[in-house]
Chains A and B, each alone.
Chain A
Amino acid sequence: MKNLTPLTADIITNNLVPQKFGKRGMIWTGVLVAFCIVGAYAYFLQLKNGLGVTAMRDYVSWGIYISNFVFFVAISLVGSLITAVFRLANVKWSTPLTRIAEIIAVSAIVFASLIIVVDMGRPERLLNLFMYGRLQSPIMWDVIVITTYLFISLLLLFFPLLPDLKILIKRKDLSVKSFGKFYSFLGSFWKGTRLQEKLNKRAVNILCVTIIPVAFCIHTVTSWLFATTYRPGWDSTNFGAYFISGAFLVGAGAVIVAMYVFRKAYALERYITELHFDKMGRIVVLLALLYLYFNVNEYLIPAFKMKNSEEAHLTDLFAGTYAPLFWFAIFTGMLVPIFILLFKRGRKPLPAFIAGVLVVVGAWFKRYLIVTPTLLHPFLPMTDVPESFKHYFPTWQEWAIALGSLAGALLIITFLPGYSPSSLYRKL
């Protein structure tokens, strides 16, 4: 590293402007688009025939759409962690990661809102939420905080982008041509005067302060969708903190994954250094331990008492039909990543990337385990229903829609840096 020429402003600009996709990028995009198209077709079928195309029935009335929603909300929390928490704590090294984190946050929260509409039996009545909305309902709280979070996240992405937009507007040779007008529309008012700089800095500071409570709200309220019911496995005062710690963990894991991929794809070794992997690795260990702590609270305390209603649920998770998935989620989502990242060698880019992938995959299944098994253990026995109501395995349409939404989020994460200027780095 020391032998390299020092980074001048010019080199930075040249390195970080939007870059064209290589062959690999095209294949990646193609695959994602294909997933999205299949997902859109599956949703078309669902719109045509009703939610009957899913495997959800009267007992398991929430399935992978909802767990996917919880996953998206969780992962979106990282925007506030990396951007706001670190900024307010004056952590300097995280600066190159902020934009990655913000992009992940925005795309995840957009798809969280989309997937919740997919889960509705009557999506065309969405406006009823505003015409007849009841503020007493946790769903309304979720609608309010998610919208707020989306707008703050967008602003937090946009404001720091302004000085960079100016560079792109000036140097037309650097930007993707068709976007030139879009850039001027977004950023031509930015003159870079001292007053503007000052205002911008202040605005970002204010946003950083506001986004933290809002971020806590989105995930706490999402956990309350479950915790406000009586069901074993959901009826827990631990749920808000449990969800938030899990959300920070999966978000940090996702940032490591994104760091690795962007670093490789855009040759950003000089900006996203091994130091970043080392630091993020430590953070993931801390967050995984925190999440593990809440898991112990969540599962072992009811298991100590083994109330009747909890017993069926817990034994099903620990040793029953859901046991393989449960232990898979615990090991891949927490224990193995902790083990990898605890060692200095484990915090090198590649092993850290693998740990990050494990965290994210484990987290997805964890959300599924929070939503579905509980619904299969109602208080009264499952009587007078068809046999198919007593199990749940998603149909291809559900898988297609869920995977399509994940692909869509990845598509945004792929494209935003490609078309937004110096998106991976910011000087502010």
Chain B
Amino acid sequence: MKNNDTSRRDFLATALLAGVAAGCSSNNPFSPGDDAIKASGEMVKLLSVDGEVIEVDKAFLKPVPDMPTVTSSEERIGIAGKKFVMVIDLARCKNVQACKASCNHAHHLNPGQNWIKVHAMQEAEHTAPYWEPTTCMHCDQPPCVKVCPVDATFKREDGIVLIDSDRCIGCRFCMAACPYSTRVFNWNEPVLEKEIAEKPYSCETSMPQKIGTVSKCDFCPDMARKGELPHCVSACPNGVFFFGDMNEDSVTNGAETFRFSELVKDKAGYRLMEDLGTRPRVYYLPPVNRNFPFESGLEKDTTEKNNFK
């Protein structure tokens, strides 16, 4: 699958370059060429769409814009043969918040928006406090998808729940329905770099964010297509997050890889609010034999200090 994609991408790139070679600007193959560019005399060999090897002056080559690798209807179906799953090991979390920072950075979230939240939890007065990062649970019985009136948020075959911001009407029923309070709304026009704001919306990157629509953690399916881990997983210095595929029965945090079923069995994994019947795809390992004391995370505690207005 991955190979297919790469070759498809290369193909697209070649096709585009061939278009450029034919003397066209990169966007519209039918518009006249840019006269301002002068031939440099240095030639490069390229493969044309017909499979011919052709030579083009180097000056006519332009960097290929980042082309979406999948169509929006493919984005609604998901990556074939996969059942994504996440395991969050609470014994390793000390509230470093690198997950959140990298996620916010990668998705260009505006201040005040966080798809990942790190809660300071304490079940009861005399039980031990612990840090609990939450992402979207990508439920198998997603309450948000059930209530969406326009199919703007949907469940894919690979288990991921995504949002189509081009379709969302902003009724916020999904936010009321989600018991994990995972959803974030764009109350104002998102402040984005021009380059990102002008891109067409992709459900898989969840970018660019649009005013008056809902967003949330997307499990980074664009990274999965590239064969890479979600940003939070690779950013965490303590290896709290494990990401993987239930069909392969393996999860990894980049450094360690486990058999998913064994990990959850050995460490008594559980899911949040199991009694609600939402069937989350995010599993938690209980905070036992912890790597860090709870207090070590307090300096980063955003629940009180870091609240920007």
Q: Does A388 contact B (CB under 8 A)?
A: yes
Question: Can you pick out 16 interface pairs between chain A and chain B where the beta carbons lie within 8 Å of each other?
Answer: A52-B187, A56-B187, A59-B181, A61-B185, A119-B171, A120-B212, A121-B185, A128-B150, A137-B146, A143-B149, A228-B147, A229-B176, A379-B180, A382-B181, A385-B307, A386-B307
Please state if B112 and A139 are interface contacts (CB–CB under 8 Å).
no
A45: CB under 8 A from chain B?
no
Binary interface encoding of chain A residues 51-91 relative to chain B, with 1 for a CB under 8 A from any of its CBs, else 0: 11010111101100000000000000000000000000000
> Which residues of B, 63-97, contact A by the 8 Å Cβ criterion?
none
CB distance from B13 to the nearest CB of A (A): 34
Tell me which of B152, B177, B211 contacts A50 (CB under 8 A).
B211
**How many residues of chain B have a CB within 8 Å of chain A?**
49
Given contacts A58-B183, A231-B176, A386-B307, contact A381 B120 (CB under 8 A): yes
In the complex, chain A residues 124-154 whose Cβ is within 8 Å of any chain B Cβ: 125-126, 128-129, 131-134, 136-140, 143
If A122-B170, A126-B169, A380-B181 are given as contacts, then 4 extra A-B residue pairs at C-beta distance below 8 Å, sorted by A number, are A58-B185, A132-B152, A137-B146, A385-B307
A17 to B: closest C-beta gap in Å: 44
A387, CB-defined interface residue at 8 Å: yes
Which of chain B's residues have a CB closer than 8 A to the CB of A178? none
Considering the chains assembled together, what is the distance between the CA atoms of A178 and B292 in angstroms? 81
- Closest A residue, CB atoms, query B187: A52
A381 to B129, CA, bound (A): 13
What is the predominant secondary structure among interface residues of chain B facing chain A?
loop
Inter-chain contact B120/A61, CB cutoff 8 Å: no
Q: Which residues of A contact B (CB under 8 A)?
A: 49-52, 54, 56-59, 61-62, 119-123, 125-126, 128-129, 131-134, 136-140, 143, 225-226, 228-231, 375, 378-389
Q: Are A62 and B119 in contact (CB under 8 A)?
A: no
B179 in the interface, Cβ–Cβ < 8 Å?
Answer: yes
Closest chain A residue to B154, Cβ basis = A134
- Cα distance, A62 to B171, chains bound together (Å): 9
User: Complex Cα distance A139/B151, Å?
Assistant: 12
Task: Tell me if B211 and A137 are in contact (CB < 8 A).
Answer: no
In the complex, the 9 A-B pairs of residues with the closest C-beta atoms, listed nearest first: A121-B170, A121-B212, A52-B188, A139-B149, A52-B187, A137-B149, A384-B117, A132-B150, A61-B172
Residue of A nearest to B146 (CB): A136
Question: Is the CB–CB distance between B134 and A138 below 8 Å?
Answer: no
Q: When chains A and B are docked, how far (Å) is the Cα of A133 from the Cα of B212?
A: 19
- What are the residues of chain A within 8 A of B147 when measuring CB–CB? 137-139, 228-229
B252 at the interface (CB under 8 A from A): no
For B168, B171, B211, the residue with the greatest tally of chain A CB atoms inside 10 Å of its CB is: B171
B213: A residues at CB distance < 8 A: 121-122
Is B143 close to A, CB under 8 A? yes
Contact of A381 with B172 at beta-carbon distance under 8 Å, contacts A121-B185, A134-B149, A386-B112 already known: no
Q: CB < 8 Å: which of A61, A126, A136, A384 contacts B175?
A: A61
B37 CB-CB contact with A under 8 Å? no
* Contact in complex: B171, A375 (CB < 8 Å): no
Chain B's nearest CB lies how many Å from the CB of A395?
12
Contact check, B179 vs A230: say whether CB atoms are below 8 A apart: yes
Q: How far is the CB of B190 from chain A (nearest CB, A)?
A: 10
Per-residue CB contact flags for chain B residues 89-130 toward chain A (1 = under 8 Å, else 0) read 000000000001000000000001010011111000000000
A61 lies within 8 A of B176 (CB): yes
A132 x B167 contact (CB < 8 A): yes
Q: Which of A123, A137, A226, A386 has the most CB of B within 10 A?
A: A137
Q: Which residue of B lies closest to A228 (CB)?
A: B147
- Chain B residues lying within 8 Å of A57, measured Cβ to Cβ, are 185, 187
B189 and A50 form a contact (CB under 8 A): yes
Q: How far is the CA of A122 from the CA of B189 in the complex (A)?
A: 12
Interface residues of B in 275-309 (CB under 8 A from A): 276, 302-303, 306-309
List the B side residues contacting A383 at CB < 8 Å.
117-120, 302-303
A386 to B45, CA, bound (A): 55
Could you tell me the distance between the alpha carbons of A6 and B14 in the complex, rounded to whole angstroms? 96
A54 to B187, CA, bound (A): 9
Decide yes or no whether B224 CB sits under 8 A from chain A. no
Known contacts A384-B114, A386-B307, A122 near B151 by CB under 8 Å: no
Q: Identify which of residues 144-203 in chain B touch chain A, using a CB-to-CB cut-off of 8 Å.
A: 146-152, 167-173, 175-177, 179-181, 183-189
